A and B are shown apart, each in its own frame.
Chain A
């Protein structure tokens, strides 16, 4: 008993403790500048690549809408998990959150997207819906006929010999329009995210 009283006395009759007891103040409630908060707009021009939407892990947290000032990402606060991937994936620095944009500039880092298209030849029946619907194909060959047949080889997708073929996968923008238009779920687009150091010329 005496020992433990002595122990507590030893603990509390210290100058440090007494000073803290009378002079302690609650820290002011401010959000530190390094906190990764909800992304905000920086005012730079959005080029509608939609990489922010593709990188976002939370369903329905971000979309890019058309406003009188042009394209603009919009964050849905209740859905956003504040991961900051959209900030890192944006090629133009439209969004900012905490120190992410700043540290991307200093460390020369970015998240880059590449796309991969898998066609299941067992399921593909060569209807050509994917090739006709593809927005990249529309820019290259606006006259593409029903069935996905075309004479040019510059296309992203093309139907030949009754099957869909991927000709130039590097032209893909990852929109998944082909996947949504396939009646057989034969075509699948994968969005591959890679954490890299940005090439010098892009910074």
Chain B
């Protein structure tokens, strides 16, 4: 299911074969993807998939064990300072100096990012306006609510007008209203800036992103538009059945179940035992089990055939419901 990266012009972020080992732990193994100029790319995967590691490598916080990455044409290992000048980064959990005032902090960031002294105040003013934090400009960051804090996190990423925004879990821990507001804000960056955002929430990418890269256990599983990814998954439920009984009759009985599209024998296990692959539109496990048992055949195993991608999706969907 892993697709090749498409080669094309106007690539703002190019990641090739990135690996990262922490001692014996492999955090990333051969991650490749690219983000076009002006595109919003969602980085989707469960916790611990390697999203944060990838982002930390791109922002120059940690180096990769091997592989290459370029941001705006600059190699992250060869010209880290040039890369850092072109990236606005919001790390997960938005670490900010609690004792500093919002405006003071943004001015500090502006100075670090080389915004000229004469433009600093007006630049910061525009950003605070855009992020809706003007009314808390003088408050210490430590005293802000989670929602405001997140906005300050995005604001500091916007300082210096970087071409690339890298946002790690920008909506985590927010209430539904705040989530919608932050997503709207991120969408408004599309076209103007190249955005890489990570999330472990499936619907988030379909709402916000132009394209999505699915990552799990340090590997890219797929990259596509949210729509075609969803279409790929819709309606497909594969079951593996191990049963004992006359082959033809079993196949026929299974085909008679409502919702079953196709039945194939996948493995002969000796005697009358065999393994069957069932493709259905919906979850038909209950019906399959009943059919087999009612006929007096032996039922040895019945489980969904979860390809890697679907497994991740199942995990993602469950997490969203649990949250």
| A and B: bona fide binding partners | no
